[in-house]
Structure 1
Amino acid sequence: MIRRWQGGAASGSLMLLPTLAWAHAGSSAGWLHPLSGLDHLLAMTAVGAWSVQIGGRAVWAVPGAFVCFMFLGGVIGFEHIELPLTEVGVAMSVVLLGLAIALRQRLPLLVAAGATALFGIFHGYAHGYEMPLMQNKVVYTAGFLATTATLHLVGAIGAHFLQKVKRGDGLLRLSGAASALCGLWLVINAV
C-alpha cells in the first residue's frame, strides 16, 4: 500500500512541475533533447512498452516506425516548415499511447506502426525545430534518434519484465493510465 501511495505522489508531483512538462529547455545536444521533457519521456517509453504488449513483430516494427518518421519530422523541423498543432500532437501521443497500454489494445501491426509513425513526426518536428543554429544537424539528429531508441528499449524491457511478475500486467496498465492522465494535463496546457 505504501509503494502505491509513493508512486502516486511521485506522479502527482511531476504534474506540478511545468518546467519539465515540455522538452523545450534549449538543450544544445540532440541526445539530451528527448530527456529534457516529460512529454517526450512518457511517449517514447510508452512506445516500447506498448510494442511488447502487442507482441510479435510489433516489438521491432512499432518503435522502428516511430524512429523513422521522427527523422522525417526532424527534417521538417530543421527547415522550419510550419506543422500546425505540434504541441497538441506531442501531448496527444502521450494520452493515446497511455490509453493503449492501460486498455491493453493489441491493434493490427500496420495500424499500430502507422499511429506511432504519426506520433514520431510530431516529436521529431519538435526536436528539429528547436535545434540550436550552430549545431551540426547530423550529430544533433543522430543524438536524438539514439536517445529515442534507447527510451523505446527501456519501455520495452520494463514491460517485458512486468509481464513476467505477479500483478505486473496490472502495474503496467496502471502506468499507462497514469501516463494518459499526464498527457491530458499536457493537452490542456498546450491549447
Structure 2
Amino acid sequence: MNKNSAIAQLSRKVIALGFLASVFGSISLLLIPSPALAHHASGGKLPSSFASGFLAGLGHPVIGIDHLVFVIAIGLLAALSSKLGMVIPLTFILATAVGTGIHLQSVNLPIPELIISASVLIVGIFLAKENKTNLALLIIIAAIAGIFHGYAYGESIVGARANAVGAYLLGFCLIQLGISAIAFYVGKSILKRASGSPSLPLRFAGFAVCGIGFAFLSSNILG
C-alpha cells in the first residue's frame, strides 16, 4: 500500500468514527427526556444528609454524558502533555468546586449549557490535533470549563444543608479525579505500547469526543 492510499484509508476511518460519535451523541440526547433531570444525580430530590450528598456528588459527573466525556478527554489530553499533564484535570476539578460555589452564591453565569457543550467539542479538537498544545493554554481552558461544569453541578445542591453540600463537593471531586486519573494512565499505557504513531489511538478518541461535543452543541443551539 502506497503512502497516498494509506492516508486516504486513514481519513475514511477518521470520518467514519466522527460520524458514529455524532450519531451516538444524538441518540444519547434523544434518550434523555429532560436535561435538568439528566444532570440531577438524586432524581430531582435535594440531598439531606452527608451520605446522600456524597452519593449525589459521585453520580452527577457520571450520569451527565457531556460532563463524563469531558473528564475522560482531559485525562487523555493530560497523557499527551508533558510530565505535568495531570495539572490539567486537577485544575479542572478545583475549578468545578469554585463553579459550584458561584452557583450557591446565586451568581448567574451566562449560557452555561452552551459553554459546557462547546468545551467538550474544544477539548476533543485539542485531543485530535497532531501537535501538542501549550500546557498553559490547556490549563486556562480547563479552569474556564471547570467553572461552568461546576456551576451546572451546583444546581443539584441549591438549598441543601452545609454538611450535604460539603459531601457533594467531596463526592464529585473524588469521582472526577478517579476517572481522569484512569484515563491518564490508560493514555500513557497506549502511548508506551503503540508503535509507529503512538498518539494515533488517542487522536481517534479525540475525533469521537468532537462528534459527541458537536451533537450536544447542536442540540443546545437548535433547542
TM interval, shorter chain, is: 0.7 to 0.9
* Aligned length in residues: 187
Residue from 4, 28, 31 that aligns with 1:17: 28
Q: For residue 157 of structure 1, report the CA deviation from its aligned partner.
A: 1.6
Structure-2 residue corresponding to 1:89: 115
Deviations 1:23-76 (A, max 9, x none): 84221211100000210111001111111101221x221111111111110101
The answer for unaligned runs of 5 or more in structure 2 is 1-12, 43-55
Distance 2:145 2:216 in 1: 15
User: Secondary structure of 1:107's match?
Assistant: coil
Residue from 174, 177, 182 that aligns with 1:154: 182
Distance 1:131 1:35 in 2: 16
Change (3 A) 1:22 1:157: farther
User: Secondary structure of 1:127's match?
Assistant: helix
- Which range moves more in the overlay, 15-24 or 139-148? 15-24
Distance 1:100 1:181 in 2: 13
Change (3 A) 1:85 1:14: closer
Deviations 1:110-162 (A, max 9, x none): 21111111110111000012226446100011111111111211221221122
Note if contact 1:30-1:131 (Cα within 8 Å) is conserved in structure 2.
Answer: no
Residue from 168, 171, 176 that aligns with 2:201: 171
Change (3 A) 1:116 1:98: same
Distance 1:13 1:98 in 2: 15
Change (3 A) 1:125 1:92: same
The answer for unaligned runs of 5 or more in structure 1 is none
Structure-2 residue corresponding to 1:99: 125
Note if contact 2:25-2:216 (Cα within 8 Å) is conserved in structure 1.
Answer: no
Note if contact 2:91-2:142 (Cα within 8 Å) is conserved in structure 1.
Answer: yes
Structure-2 residue corresponding to 1:110: 136
Bigger Rg, structure 1 or 2? 2
TM-score, structure 2 length as denominator? Answer: 0.75
Structure-1 residue corresponding to 2:46: none
Residue from 52, 66, 74 that aligns with 1:39: 66
Distance 1:169 1:108 in 2: 16
TM-score, structure 1 length as denominator? Answer: 0.86
Change (3 A) 1:22 1:94: farther
Note if contact 1:73-1:128 (Cα within 8 Å) is conserved in structure 2.
Answer: yes
Note if contact 1:94-1:179 (Cα within 8 Å) is conserved in structure 2.
Answer: yes
